[in-house]
Amino acid sequence: MRVNSRSIARLAIAIFPLAVMALVPGLASAQDYPSKSIRLIVPFPPGGTTDIVARLVADKLSRQLGQTVVVDNRSGAGGSVGAELIAKAAPDGYTLGIATVSTHAVNPAANPKTPYNPLTDFVPITNLAAVPNVIEVHPSVPARNIKDFVAMLKKEPGKWSYASAGQASIGQMMGELFLNATGTEMVHIPYKGAGPAIVDMLGGQVKIMFDNLPSSLPHIKSGKLIALAVAAPKRLDVLPNVPTLAELGLPSVNDQAWYGLVAPAKTPDAIVKKLHDATVAVLRTQDIKDKFAEQGAMPVGNTPAEYQAQIKAEYQKMSEIVKKKGITLE
Question: What's the pLDDT tens digit per position in 149-181?
Answer: 999 999 998 899 999 988 878 899 999 999 999
198 and 140 share a domain? Answer: yes
Query: What's the Cα-to-Cα distance from 19 to each of 16, 27, 33, rounded to whole Å?
Result: 5, 11, 19
Phi and psi of 269, rounded to 5°?
Answer: -55, -40
140 and 224 share a domain? Answer: yes
152 and 233 share a domain? Answer: yes
Please state the domain count of the chain: 2
Dump the DSSP string for 272-314. HHHHHHHHHHHHTSHHHHHHHHHTT-EE----HHHHHHHHHHH
Q: Could you give the angle at the alpha carbon of 84 between the alpha carbons of 80 and 45, nearest 5°?
A: 50
According to DSSP, the residues that pair with 136 across neighbouring strands are 209, 227
pLDDT digits (tens, 9 = 90+) for 22-58: 455 544 467 889 999 999 999 988 877 888 899 999 9
- For the ranges 5-19, 264-278, 298-312, the lowest mean pLDDT is seen at 5-19
Which residues lie below 8 Å from residue 316, measured CB to CB, with a gap of 6+? none
Order of all β-strands in the sheet with 161-164: 187-190, 161-164, 208-212, 133-137, 226-231
pLDDT value of residue 28:
46
Instruction: Please say which residue of 209, 233, 253 terminates a domain.
Output: 253
Strand 38-42 and strand 69-73: the pairing is parallel
Residue 51's identity, in one-letter code, is D
141 and 225 share a domain? Answer: yes
156 and 97 share a domain? Answer: no
Between helix 170-182 and helix 304-325 the angle, nearest 10°, is 60
SS3 140: coil
According to DSSP, the residues that pair with 96 across neighbouring strands are 40
CATH number of residue 195's parent domain: 3.40.190.10
Residues 59-82: what's their mean pLDDT?
A: 92
99 membership: H or E segment, kind and range: strand 95-100
182 and 316 share a domain? Answer: no
Residues 290-306: what's their mean pLDDT?
A: 91
55 and 113 share a domain? Answer: yes
First-to-final CA distance of the chain:
75
| pTM for the structure as a whole | 0.80
116 pLDDT more than 90? yes
Note whether 164 and 191 are within 8 A (CB).
Answer: yes
Rounded CA separation 125/104 (Å): 14
Domain span at residue 234 reads: 133-253
Confidence of residue 124 (pLDDT cuts 50, 70, 90): very high
Q: What is the share, in percent, of the chain residues with pLDDT greater than 70?
A: 91
